[in-house]
Amino acid sequence: MGEPVAAHHHSLARELECVSQVPIFQELATDQRTSIAKVTRPIHAEKGGLIYRPEEVSQTLYIVNTGQVRLYHLGDDGRERVLRVLNPGDFIGEIALFTDEIHQDYAEATKTTELCTISRTALTALLDRLPPLALSLLSALAVRLRTAERQATLLAIPDALPRLAGYLLTLTDQRVGTYTLPMSKQDLAAYLGMTPESLSRKLKQLATQGIIETVGRRQIKLLDVAALQAVAPQ
C-alpha cells in the first residue's frame, strides 16, 4: 500500500472549488455552496493509500477533488471485484446519512488524490437547512442504483464478449465517436468480472471485426454502433 491518508489544512477556497464541481451541489446558490465548504475538511492520499477499509464505521461523505479512487471488495477466492471508479466530482459514503452501516469494501487512491470530507453530523444539519440539497441527493442515489442494477445485469451474462459490448454501448451512449475509459483496463476487467487477458482478447476481437478501434491505453473509438448492438445482449 502507499502512504496513509493524511489530513490537510482547511482552505475555504479549496473546499469551495471541490464542492462546486459535485453535481448534487451545482444547483445551489453560491452562499449555500459556501456553507457546505465551511464544514468540509480535506484529506490527502498517495497512490495505493486506503481511504477506508471493510469493518470501519461509515460516518463520512467523501468527495474526490483531484485524483481518482476505486472501490473494490475481495471475493472468497481473493480476487478483486471493482465496484466503481470515482473521478473528480464523484462522491461516496452517502449511505452514512441513513444508517450506521460499516464499510463492506475498500476505497483506494489509484493516483495522488485529494478529497473533501463532510461528517455525518454536518451533512445532516445541511440537509435540514437546504431542502434542495436533499432532493439532489435523492436524485443522485437513484442514478447510483440504476448504475448498480446495470452492472449486475452485465455480470449475469455468461459470455464475456456480450458483457463487454453491453458496457461499451452504455459508455458511448450508442453513438459513434472516441471515448476515454473511466478506469484502467485492469480495473475495467475486474469491474466486468473477467481477467485482464480476457478483456484484451475481446477488445482485439471487436477491433478485428471493425466495430471499435483502440486508441492508446485508455481510449476506445466506436466505429459501428449497429454491429456492437448485434453483439450485445438483447
Residues 166 and 131 in one domain: no
Residues 18 and 128 in one domain: yes
- Please report, for the domain that includes residue 175, its CATH number: 1.10.10.10
Q: Confirm whether 166 is domain-assigned.
A: yes
Each residue's pLDDT tens digit in the chain (234 positions)? 445 566 566 688 888 888 888 888 887 888 888 988 999 999 999 999 999 999 888 888 899 999 999 999 988 888 888 999 999 989 888 776 677 778 889 999 999 999 999 988 898 888 888 888 888 888 888 888 888 888 888 888 889 999 999 999 999 999 999 999 989 999 999 999 899 999 999 999 999 999 999 998 889 999 999 999 999 886
What range defines the domain where residue 56 resides? 8-154
Q: Confirm whether 1 is domain-assigned.
A: no
Q: How far from 191 is each of 42, 138, 150, 211, 229, CA to CA, in Å?
A: 28, 25, 12, 22, 20
Residues 59 and 168 in one domain: no
Residues 32 and 61 in one domain: yes
Grid cell at residue 109 = 487512491
Residues 57 and 100 in one domain: yes
Residues 120 and 173 in one domain: no
Count of structural domains, the chain:
2
Grid cell at residue 43 = 484529506
- 3-state SS class at 154: helix
Q: Confirm whether 44 is domain-assigned.
A: yes
End residue of a domain, out of 154, 179, 200: 154
C-alpha of 167 from chain center = 15
End residue of a domain, out of 154, 185, 215: 154
Residues 130 and 209 in one domain: no
pTM for the model stands at 0.79
Burial 110-135 (b: 16+ CB within 10 A, else e): beebbbbbbebebbeebeeebeebee
Whether 71 contacts 82, CB under 8 Å: yes
